């Protein structure tokens, strides 16, 4: 624990003054988790040395330095507490002087995407532009005042482009902000995984774990530390760096990544407050999702109004999500450009549409449909979308979820066609 010199007392004063008890109550301590009975027991954290180990234990009382000046522990910041989600959050108190920090240009990346069906009419230039358009781009602001703004800078997320996740060092969890900034809701620890893979704010039980050190590295000109984290949900590899003058802000990005593998934000993994620059999430069935920072820029003046948690003047929308239209990611003309001309096709099935592709999601989570390795739409659970514009021909079609935990291998499909993710509903026994 940090100790600082507070005062100098002489021997007569010590003799004449009664001993002071330690002040402070338990208001800053974490409350017991409602999931405690079903979670693994937390690992013991580092403790103070025993009396026999303390250099001043033989004398008793308050330790002193070499000049005889007494040293008492500084109170330090209280432990973070979970956000309340049943009432509006208090107004944030940061000011313009808290607006310095860094901005990260980053993205999530889907690894091992299938390639296109190599037919003569394939347009590689159009596919390249389509991949760039659907890149899962992020803009992340980190401020040493202990604030993070994690903005979704792409239409490919199952949340609308421009939506944000904001966080503060004093609390666990996140605040999901509507794209126009006029509304927000609390996302408690353990909810982010379901929010991105199912578009539901369901909370998973979180586990408190330790990280294994995997050596050093270098990235973006910074020396990095590599850690490996394992939870019952998945594995997370982190490569983080010390970015000077950021305080505890890097811890907030670390907590967000931990939430995707259902790890308790109070785990010691993020204790050094380093900034994650690269990460890879791996799932039991073999899927992967990566996170990578492409550029880091120090900003003398971040727009501190964008760091408020919650946004100034925003309305609490408890239990809601930002409204969003169907997840079709391309126009009809965009899809028509995937092939330069119509190609050979098989006779259409009876349930095929007159043109294009009908994508049907029979699963209980959001699924992306990929055409020639490019995500063209995300489809809500138990829903379907019609994608118009794809020219007749043979394409590679596959399905996956956002996190990569559920991936179906690609199939060559002759379009027009109807494709289905998950099992078709049982029609029941035929009539007698």
Please compute the mean of the pLDDT values over residues 318-326 and round it to a whole number. 86
Predicted local confidence at residue 1, as pLDDT? 39
DSSP string, 4-63: EE-----HHHHHHSPPPPP---STTSPPPPTTGGGSPPPPPPP-PPPTTTSTTTTT-SS-
Compute the mean pLDDT over every residue in the chain, rounded to the nearest whole number. 84
Residue in 333, 330, 338, 332 with CA at minimum distance from that of residue 117: 338
Range in 76-80, 247-251, 280-284, 330-334 the model is least confident about? 76-80
305-316 burial code (b ≥16 CB/10 A, e <16)? ebbbbbbeebeb
Predicted local confidence at residue 79, as pLDDT? 85
User: What are 132-159's pLDDT values in tens digits?
Assistant: 999 999 999 999 999 999 999 999 999 9
Highest mean pLDDT among 23-27, 35-39, 174-178, 204-208: 174-178
Residue 258 banded pLDDT, cuts 50, 70, 90: very high
Across-strand partners of 407?
400
Residue 355 banded pLDDT, cuts 50, 70, 90: very high
Q: Is the pLDDT of residue 18 over 60?
A: no
DSSP string, 399-411: EE-SSSSSEEEEE
Range in 50-54, 80-84, 88-92, 378-382 the model is least confident about? 50-54
Domains of the chain: 82-316 (2.50.20.10), 327-421 (2.60.40)
User: What are 414-429's pLDDT values in tens digits?
Assistant: 999 999 998 765 545 4
Residue in 274, 273, 298, 258 with CA at minimum distance from that of residue 224: 274
Other Cβ atoms within 10 Å of 174 Cβ, number: 29
Across-strand partners of 402?
none
Instruction: Name the phi and psi angles at 335, rounded to 5.
Output: -65, -35
Please compute the mean of the pLDDT values over residues 315-327 and round it to a whole number. 89
Please compute the mean of the pLDDT values over residues 313-324 and round it to a whole number. 92
User: What are 230-249's pLDDT values in tens digits?
Assistant: 999 999 999 999 999 898 99
Residue 67 banded pLDDT, cuts 50, 70, 90: low
Please compute the mean of the pLDDT values over residues 69-78 and round it to a whole number. 59
Residue 273 banded pLDDT, cuts 50, 70, 90: confident
Across-strand partners of 400?
368, 407
Q: Is the pLDDT of residue 17 over 70?
A: no
- The residue among 349 and 49 whose pLDDT is bigger is 349
Residue in 252, 263, 66, 303 with CA at minimum distance from that of residue 146: 252
Q: Is the pLDDT of residue 99 over 80?
A: no
Residue 202 banded pLDDT, cuts 50, 70, 90: confident
């Amino acid at each position: 624990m940090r100790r600082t010199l507070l005062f100098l007392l002489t021997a007569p004063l010590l003799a004449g003054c009664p001993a002071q008890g330690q002040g402070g109550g338990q208001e800053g301590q974490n409350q017991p988790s409602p999931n405690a009975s079903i979670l693994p027991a937390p690992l013991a954290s580092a403790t103070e040395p025993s009396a026999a180990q303390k250099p001043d234990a033989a004398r008793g009382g308050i330790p002193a330095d070499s000049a005889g000046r007494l040293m008492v522990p500084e109170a330090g910041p209280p432990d973070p507490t979970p956000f309340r989600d049943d009432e509006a959050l208090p107004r944030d108190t940061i000011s313009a002087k808290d607006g310095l920090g860094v901005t990260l240009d980053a993205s999530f990346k889907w690894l091992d995407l299938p390639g296109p069906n190599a037919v003569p009419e394939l347009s590689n230039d159009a596919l390249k532009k389509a991949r760039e358009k659907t890149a899962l781009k992020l803009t992340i602001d980190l401020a040493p005042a202990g604030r993070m703004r994690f903005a979704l800078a792409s239409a490919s997320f199952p949340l609308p482009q421009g939506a944000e996740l904001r966080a503060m060092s004093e609390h666990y969890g996140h605040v999901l902000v509507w794209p126009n900034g006029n509304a927000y809701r609390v996302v408690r620890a353990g909810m982010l995984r379901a929010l991105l893979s199912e578009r539901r704010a369901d909370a998973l039980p979180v586990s408190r774990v330790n990280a294994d050190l995997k050596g050093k590295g270098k990235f973006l000109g910074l020396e990095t530390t590599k850690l490996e984290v394992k939870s019952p949900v998945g594995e997370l590899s982190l490569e983080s760096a010390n970015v000077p003058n950021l305080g505890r802000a890097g811890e907030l990005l670390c907590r967000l990544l931990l939430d995707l593998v259902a790890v308790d934000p109070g785990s010691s993994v993020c204790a050094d407050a380093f900034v994650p620059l690269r990460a890879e999430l791996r799932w039991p069935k073999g899927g992967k999702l990566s996170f990578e920072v492409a550029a880091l820029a120090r900003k003398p003046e971040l727009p501190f109004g964008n760091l408020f948690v919650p946004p100034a003047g925003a309305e609490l929308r408890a239990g809601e999500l930002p409204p969003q239209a169907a997840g079709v990611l391309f126009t009809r003309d965009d899809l028509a450009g995937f092939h330069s001309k119509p190609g050979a096709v098989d006779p259409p099935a009876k349930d095929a549409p007159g043109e294009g592709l009908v994508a049907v999601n029979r699963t209980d989570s959001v699924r992306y449909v990929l055409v020639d390795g490019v995500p063209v739409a995300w489809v809500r659970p138990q829903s379907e979308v019609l994608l118009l514009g794809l020219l007749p021909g043979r394409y590679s079609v596959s399905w996956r979820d956002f996190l990569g935990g559920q991936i179906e291998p690609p199939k060559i499909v002759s379009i027009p066609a109807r494709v289905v993710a998950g099992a078709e509903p049982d029609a029941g026994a035929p009539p007698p």
